[in-house]
């Protein structure tokens, strides 16, 4: 039964990613803009955030063992459901799951996993933007309580990815950081835009149009951070796979 559920999860993930790929291609200019804006500071910040997120997840699991459980535990998945297709290929090929830290298996599994991870990275700007639009849009006037609640909802939503509760709560920490990035970018855009060019070259007061522009800019800024963080995790998985293969 568990094997059938794992296969179903893998198929669902592939179908959903295929649909996302179509939408991402239609909005490929967004991805180009997101990749163009990533700077070394984003990478360094994402590394620091990853350390915090992992520390929170491990700490919660040790302090409250029950938080180490998730829906994935019921179907034998060892990590994020997004990697279920890779695990399924590995298991059905007689190899150990690369996501679980075992040997990567044969070269075919390595190639399939590498291609899958790189596809995920290519989709991250669009996927991150959708999540940011749902959870961060409008946070410019949110109080601290609403910011915390939004971040918590963001983290708990990831339970559908079959990750443990501790991991979902740790993801909420990342969600809070994205909210900070959103609000910072929003304020910076307002401050830097005293006036904007209107139709026929007429200067308009920033207050007339900038709030909408500032929200768009803030969403893009938080999407850049979100994409950088997710890409760092995916590339770490890929690096671990390649290291196991070489070893």
Which of helix, strand or coil describes residue 213? helix
Q: What percentage of the chain reaches a pLDDT higher than 90?
A: 56
Q: Is the pLDDT of residue 134 over 90?
A: yes
- In whole angstroms, give the CA distance from residue 103 to residue 9: 22
Mean pLDDT for the stretch of residues 9-34: 92
Mean pLDDT for the stretch of residues 4-33: 90
Average pLDDT, the chain: 84
Q: Is the pLDDT of residue 2 over 80?
A: no
User: How many angstroms separate the Cα of 192 from the Cα of each of 132, 200, 202?
Assistant: 23, 22, 18
Backbone angles phi, psi at 194, to 5 degrees: -70, -45
- In whole angstroms, give the CA distance from residue 85 to residue 12: 9
Regarding predicted confidence, which is higher, 53 or 207?
Answer: 53
- In whole angstroms, give the CA distance from residue 209 to residue 141: 17
- In whole angstroms, give the CA distance from residue 133 to residue 123: 16
- For 131, half-sphere exposure in the C-beta direction (CA atoms, 13 angstrom radius) is 29
CA angle 118, 90, 21 (to 5 degrees): 30
- In whole angstroms, give the CA distance from residue 227 to residue 233: 10
- In whole angstroms, give the CA distance from residue 233 to residue 211: 33
Backbone angles phi, psi at 204, to 5 degrees: -110, 150
Q: Which residues pair with 205 in a beta bridge?
A: 195
Q: Calculate the CA 19 to chain-centre distance.
A: 17
Regarding predicted confidence, which is higher, 197 or 176?
Answer: 176
């Amino acid at each position: 039964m568990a094997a059938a559920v794992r296969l179903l999860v893998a198929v669902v993930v592939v179908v959903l990613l295929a649909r996302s790929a179509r939408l991402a291609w239609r909005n490929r200019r967004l991805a180009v803009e997101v990749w163009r804006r990533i700077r070394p500071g984003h990478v360094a910040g994402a590394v620091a955030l990853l350390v915090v997120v992992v520390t929170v997840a491990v700490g919660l699991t040790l302090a409250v063992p029950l938080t180490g459980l998730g829906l994935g535990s019921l179907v034998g998945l060892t990590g994020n459901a997004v990697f279920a297709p890779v695990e399924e290929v590995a298991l059905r090929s007689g190899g150990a799951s690369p996501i679980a830290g075992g040997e990567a298996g044969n070269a075919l599994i390595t190639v399939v996993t590498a291609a899958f991870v790189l596809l995920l990275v290519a989709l991250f700007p669009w996927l991150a933007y959708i999540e940011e639009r749902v959870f961060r849009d409008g946070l410019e006037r949110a109080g601290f309580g609403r910011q915390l609640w939004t971040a918590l909802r963001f983290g708990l939503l990831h339970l559908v990815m079959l990750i443990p509760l501790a991991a979902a709560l740790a993801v909420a920490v990342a969600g809070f950081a994205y909210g900070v990035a959103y609000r910072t970018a929003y304020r910076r855009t307002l401050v830097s835009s005293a006036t904007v060019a209107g139709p026929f070259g007429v200067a308009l007061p920033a207050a007339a149009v900038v709030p909408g522009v500032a929200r768009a800019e803030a969403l893009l800024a938080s999407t850049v951070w979100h994409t950088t963080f997710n890409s760092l995790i995916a590339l770490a998985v890929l690096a671990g796979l390649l290291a196991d293969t070489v070893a």
